[in-house]
A and B are shown apart, each in its own frame.
Chain A
């Protein structure tokens, strides 16, 4: 009896299905939008102080001294809660961090810092998300590593989780 190849056709179709689906599972879609500013100098801006007793943030602040992390956060942002202890850890490891509070009220920011720790040297207020848009950031939290000359070297979308810490520190080293 001659082999009937078409009998294996459903199996072949299923094999193709498995290949495509397996590929998707192993490389999930990447819906994030990378900022075009990576590699560019940070735009000029002036942000007022977000909380009393702590300096606001001006673009000139980022252009002197060593590389640092600029963290966009908000007291209303739930993933920021998860990120807060990681930022404290990064601060303990010597990474200077400046904050930008997005669409937030002064009292809420102060309460957030009291509850979850304050890793920031300066915090600027961005009440209308204007700077956030300029930076090409699509949400909070988001972080940028800015080198000593004020050039954006790295963008991290979403909360920095404990497993991201070595990578952030490495990027910081590279920006020196």
Chain B
């Protein structure tokens, strides 16, 4: 019964999306249709959320008569993984995707008051057109509520790699970020339809982009940390197609976030901002397609489902192709914005956008290059980290250097920028560069520059606050400072991990001691342990450095449903880095394989990521509070 109610709600929501699309199309000709469009958008969001709750309920009850539950869950699973199992599979994750899309449409309908009525109506029309296609995909090609008759006695379980608290939060944050960008897309399409691009559009779009960007940042940072501790490889970014699929919308959204400020403050960069708004969500859809169709990851399996792949591809063709065609035809008629000099705040933001776009292009080409080559020549190749690191590394350095000066420049023109203001960060950069030779002579030039520039940027990021009254500085400026500081911290963490990490792979007998950098690690032995749905061999390690002693217990786990082995790394976080240990297999002679890493300062990577997201959150809160104040003031003035 629950499944049927959920399915009915989904059909109703799809019908409402159709109604919303029709009403806003008719409204575009006849006038204001918001009286229909707005309540319909809200009802559509509520119904989709209801359908998604029904699926969660089915998973929590482990209702095995539902095919999706039987294939991806198990009655003997902790409740948190039953919950996470809802979106740990194709159909459930697509339903989550559509739920976020419909909720974003509902929120846009309820909250947006700045835009002219026609533009809002057109944007809600675009949003409902997006929703309609993905409803059709769910209902016709990926029904999450399909029944299984007869119901099996037990479910097939969830992939043990996914049985981790990380999974409970990582996909939802990432999806809200991905799909939150749909609002920027719809607003851009609405603006192209009504030919009305200006600061009002940028101000309406900005909180959506900020919010989506914050969640996307959190999702990517959390995903990176999850891969770092769950896969047991000690790496934090692998340039895997799925990772790139989340990075590309983030890069586009980051560029958009900066260009939107030019449009909001100065009315410039109209064409460019509209294009980025379209591209950002297009990248979300392309990413979803790449992940969901299995087109790039499926070297070893037949996971490509041609029906589903073609279905999403058809949707992409309509939405992205349509929006880009509309862009090419219409944007030429958009009035140009205010002019600016090369050396100005706008100029720096344009440079930022160009570099981010080149990085985006690099990742896009690198991710799809194997496909292009095979299509053209039949040859199978793969593009790995060397390419991505070689191209994105120097570009990121350039971006960081730009950050020294960019935020200090004046709007419109800055004929003679005061270079003395950035003297201090430049000195810090030079100092760290020289000191690094003493600290670690063997280091690649890129890593050394990364460390030095990161140190300089950490200082430079505070410069916009110099000479300001701190208590009167708007929250948005604080947000910018903190985000830019986060960039410096992340860069420092990445460079430190490359420069200073020490690794040891050894087979050891209980009682043996291994040396790893400043640590001596004593292997005490192994014990069997059992969890709710797994058994494991747990290794016991005692690590000492100076007077301090740590206990680490890495596990090698065996899951019975489905049968899989996973490594649970034991990681101890200290103020100056992480000790990362993995227990491998037993050798026939009674020794155990151990893999140990000492990673100084690696935690800065994710700390920086958290700062970047926090800065975005502060900016978002600042903008929303200011909008509210202005609205209250305006109402008082009229009242």
Contacts and interface: CB of A to CB of B under 8 A. Distances in A.
Given A7-B331, A18-B313, A25 B368 contact: no
A24 interface: yes
B271 A22 contact: no
A93 interface: no
A19 B301 CA distance: 22
Interface centre among B306, B310, B327, B328 (most CB of A within 10 A): B328
B182 to A, nearest CB: 17
Interface string B368-396: 10011011000000000000000000000
Contacts of A22: 313
Contacts of A31: 299-301
B274 to A, nearest CB: 10
Interface stretch (A9-17, A120-128, A147-155, A163-171): A9-17
Contact of A10 (B304, B327, B371, B372): B327
Contacts of B279: 10
A23 B375 contact: yes
A21 B309 CA distance: 9
A19 B371 CA distance: 10
Interface residues of B, number: 34
Contact of B309 (A10, A20, A25): A25
Interface string A123-144: 0000000000000000000000
Contact of B286 (A1, A4, A15, A17): A17
B317 A20 contact: no
Nearest to A26: B306
Given A7-B328, A20-B371, A20-B375, A25 B310 contact: yes
Nearest to A9: B328
Contacts, number: 65
A20 B372 contact: yes
Given A7-B332, A10-B324, A19-B375, A28 B317 contact: no
Contacts of A52: none
Contacts of A14: 282, 320-321, 324
Given A23-B375, A25-B293, A1 B332 contact: yes
A164 to B, nearest CB: 15
Contacts of A33: none
Contacts of B275: 10
A28 B302 contact: yes
Contact of B328 (A11, A19, A28): A11
Contact of B325 (A11, A17, A21, A25): A11
Interface in B301-315: 301-302, 304, 306, 309-310, 313
Contacts of A11: 321, 324-325, 327-328
Interface in A67-115: none
Contact of B306 (A15, A19, A25): A25
* Chain A interface residue bracket vs B: 20 to 34
B564 interface: no
B375 to A, nearest CB: 5
B298 interface: yes
A18 B302 CA distance: 21
Contacts of B372: 16, 20
A49 B104 CA distance: 66
Contacts of B298: 29
Contacts of B324: 10-11, 14
Contacts of A16: 372
Given A17-B286, A17-B368, A24 B328 contact: no
A93 B372 CA distance: 45
B295 interface: yes
B330 to A, nearest CB: 9
Nearest to A30: B302
A60 to B, nearest CB: 37
A53 interface: no
Nearest to A23: B375
Contacts of B304: 24-25, 28-29
B195 to A, nearest CB: 15
Interface centre among B293, B301, B331, B375 (most CB of A within 10 A): B375
A7 B272 CA distance: 10
B317 A18 contact: yes
Nearest to B279: A10
A17 B367 CA distance: 11
Contacts of B325: 11
Contacts of A25: 293, 295, 304, 306, 309-310, 313
Interface of A: 1, 3-4, 7-8, 10-11, 14-25, 28-29, 31
Given A11-B321, A20-B371, 10 more contacts: A1-B332, A14-B320, A14-B324, A16-B372, A18-B313, A22-B313, A24-B304, A25-B293, A28-B304, A31-B301
9 contacts: A7-B331, A11-B325, A11-B327, A14-B320, A20-B371, A20-B375, A22-B313, A25-B306, A29-B298
- Which 3 pairs, one residue from A and one from B, show the smallest C-beta to C-beta distance? A11-B324, A8-B328, A23-B375
